[in-house]
Copies of this chain bind each other. A is one copy, B any other.
Amino acid sequence: MSLKTGHEYIASIEALELEANILGVKSADLTRHPLVKPSLQAVATTFDCAHSEENRPLFRVRSSLTGEEINRFNHLHQSTADLTSKVIMQRTCGNLTGCCFQRCVGMDAANATFSVTYECDRTHGTHYHQRFIDYWKRVQREDLVVDGAMTDPKGDRGKRPKEQADLDLYLRVVERKSEGVVVRGAKFHQTGLLNSHEVMVMPTVNLGPGEEDWAICFALPTNTPGLRFIYGRQASDTRKLEGSTLDVGNPTFGGQEVMLVFDDVFVPYERIFMNGELDQTGKLVERFAAYHRQSYGGCKVGVGDVLIGATALIARMNGVANASHVKDKIVEMIHLNETLFACGIACSAQGHPTPAGNYEVDRLLANVCKLNVTRFPYELARLATDIAGGLLGTMPSAQDLEDPVAGPYIKKYLAAAQGVDTVDRMKVLRLIENMVAGAGAVAYLIESMHGAGSPMAQRIMIARQSNLEGKIELARQLLGIH
């Protein structure tokens, strides 16, 4: 079966006939919905790249399961070179879309599930691994987009799943049947969910005795009955409804966040990859998290490249590209962005094989990578704001630009360095606004903070992985003390 083009991909999503609550309206025909379409186009880029001459070698890889050529987004990594290629592919997608392209979560969930099911089977005598392989072969062959769903609502953060006033605040099995189980609950922050064919569900924390019902991992088609989708708001989202792309900033691409409700949904056994094996839960969470923290060393770097480019461009348009302080700030932006990239590359290059045979990243460095991602994009955004100037917050609307009275004033007074088209300048300003204080900031800033786990989660993992006792021993040996 051949790899889909972006166009074919969109048609396949259309065929799912998904419906969602968007801004209070029950909406169908989502692939044409102006709020949804930019996010769909961003995902489509991951398909088109597998067909473009330039990117094809990077985006295509031979499947370890089938031997067929597949899209790397559905690959089970077979080497540190694969892990590295993943990061570079993500940077490329960020470069082309300037936003979140949404297809990483499924790849990261699959790689984690692949190795955890293998280990689970060895410990518990279960048969999840082959079941997962069968499932994933189909995903690879049909070139599907899989959403990875981990984050539960969590209710009172000071309490465990089984202690919550409403037990559904962590997704759980509410009924066990002969052919499968019924689950209830919700998953938050589902990036790109409505652009996905499948959703793969994992627990969100390490679970303990008495929490077997929450220890469930499975995959379902997104058009399974009982799934409810409620669209998340983003800053300035409704600019996409205004009919002009100028004020949207990023004219073609965007992100998508969805709240997903499981209203007593049936899951057949052949779709279940964990079911009550408590000792596997923490492992699955950590392993998925590590892959996903690596991802941010690629995708956010790619978006950062666009922000740096836009910032350098507006500096040139404003006539200040050669001011030493401007050059210095742009070097700083590059330095920080490349530091993130270095972390993404390093945790890949230092990866290792799992018992199941696929490759895992170096977990310490992956967490270090993500912790930097919770900081540096904020500084890049601050520096971009510095260079772009106050118009980021005060520029008149695209509609006013079209107004016969106001429009000419805007064109006259927003002129900058000679030879620069004023509307082009406004486009660049709106692109930067999109990324530092608009819809794009949701992915570039808020998701950089919380996606793949909040900073404290990374700090805990860093503490665990760092072999502090070994370092203490180094000091002792140097001093000859015990």
Flag whether A169 is at the interface (Cβ < 8 A): yes
Neighbour of A309 across the interface among B247, B412, B473, CB < 8 A? B473
User: Could you say which residues of chain B place their CB within 8 Å of the CB of A168?
Assistant: 412-413
A residues 230-269 touching B (CB-CB < 8 Å): 230-239, 247, 250-253, 257-259, 261, 263
- Say which residue of B158, B344, B386 sits within 8 Å of A455 (CB atoms): B386
Contact status A156-B417, CB under 8 Å: yes
Q: How far is the CA of A149 from the CA of B325 in the complex (A)?
A: 27
Interface string of A25-58 (1 = CB under 8 A from B): 1100000000000000000000000000000000
A334 at the interface (CB under 8 A from B): yes
Contact of A21 among B159, B396, B447 (CB under 8 A): B396
A-B contact pairs, 5 of them (CB 8 A): A306-B478, A308-B468, A330-B463, A390-B450, A437-B445
B371, A335: Cβ atoms under 8 Å? yes
In this complex, what residue of B is CB-closest to A480?
B251
Q: Is the CB of B330 within 8 A of A328?
A: no
Known: A308-B468, A416-B155. A232 touches B445 (CB 8 A): no
The CA of A98 and the CA of B478, in the complex, are separated in Å by 8
Interface residues of A in 388-438 (CB under 8 A from B): 389-400, 402-403, 405-406, 409-410, 412-418, 421, 424, 427-428, 431, 433, 437-438
Q: Are A233 and B396 in contact (CB under 8 A)?
A: yes
With a CB–CB cut-off of 8 A, which chain B residues contact A371? 335
Q: Establish whether residues B233 and A247, one from each chain, have CB atoms under 8 Å apart when the complex forms.
A: yes
Which A residues between 319 and 365 are near B, CB-CB below 8 angstroms? 319-320, 322-325, 327-328, 330-331, 334-335, 338-339, 341-350, 364-365
Q: Are A335 and B459 touching (Cβ within 8 A)?
A: yes
What is the minimal beta-carbon distance from A205 to any residue of chain B, in angstroms?
Answer: 14
CB distance from A312 to the nearest CB of B (A): 5
Whether B342 contacts A368 by the Cβ 8 Å rule is: yes
Q: How many residues of A contact B (CB 8 A)?
A: 157
Determine whether A24 belongs to the interface, using a CB cutoff of 8 Å to chain B.
yes
Complex CA–CA separation, A390 to B204 (angstroms): 14
**A378 sits at the interface (CB 8 A):** yes
- Cβ–Cβ < 8 Å partners of A480 in chain B: 251
Given contacts A24-B400, A328-B459, A365-B342, are A437 and B441 in contact (CB under 8 A)?
yes
Q: Does A1 interact with chain B (Cβ within 8 Å)?
A: no
* Chain B residues whose C-beta falls within 8 Å of the C-beta of A346 in the assembled complex: 341-346, 349
Residue of B nearest to A256 (CB): B394
Q: Are A238's CB and B235's CB within 8 A? A: no
The answer to whether residues A345 and B338 also contact, given A394-B232, A421-B481, A474-B95 and a CB cut-off of 8 A, is no
Known A346-B345, A478-B251; judge A189-B394 contact (CB<8 A).
Answer: yes
Contacts of A7 in B (CB 8 A): none
Q: Contact at B309–A474, with CB atoms within 8 Å?
A: yes
Which B residue's beta carbon lies closest to that of A442? Answer: B393
Overall SS of chain A's interface: helix
Min distance, Cβ A92 to any Cβ of chain B, angstroms: 10
Known: A23-B400, A320-B157, A325-B456. A413 touches B475 (CB 8 A): no
> Which B residues lie within 8 Å of A5 (CB)?
none
* With A228-B406, A468-B312 as contacts: A479 and B428 at CB distance below 8 Å: yes
Residue contact A257 to B394, C-beta cutoff 8 Å: yes
Chain B residue, CB-CB nearest to A458: B335
Chain B nearest CB from A334 CB (Å) reads 5
Do A396 and B349 touch (CB < 8 A)?
no
Closest 7 CB pairs of A and B: A24-B399, A309-B471, A349-B349, A342-B346, A393-B446, A390-B450, A324-B324
* In the complex, per-residue mask of A291-335: 1 if CB is within 8 Å of any chain B CB, else 0: 000000000000001101110110010111011110110110011
Residue of B nearest to A330 (CB): B468
Q: Which one of B154, B253, B390, B416 contacts A156 once the chains associate, using CB atoms below 8 Å?
A: B416
Q: Is A462 an interface residue (CB 8 A)?
A: yes
* A153→B474 contact, CB < 8 A: no
User: Taking CB as reference atom, which chain B residue is nearest A368?
Assistant: B338
Given contacts A323-B456, A327-B463, 20 further A-B contacts (CB under 8 A): A21-B405, A156-B417, A157-B319, A188-B391, A230-B410, A231-B400, A235-B235, A238-B238, A263-B409, A309-B468, A309-B472, A309-B474, A312-B471, A328-B459, A349-B349, A390-B449, A393-B447, A393-B450, A424-B481, A437-B446
> Is A8 located at the chain interface by the 8 A CB criterion?
no
* B325 and A402 form a contact (CB under 8 A): no
A449, B247: Cα distance in complex, Å: 22
**Which of these, B23, B231, B247, B310, contacts A475 with CB under 8 Å?**
B310
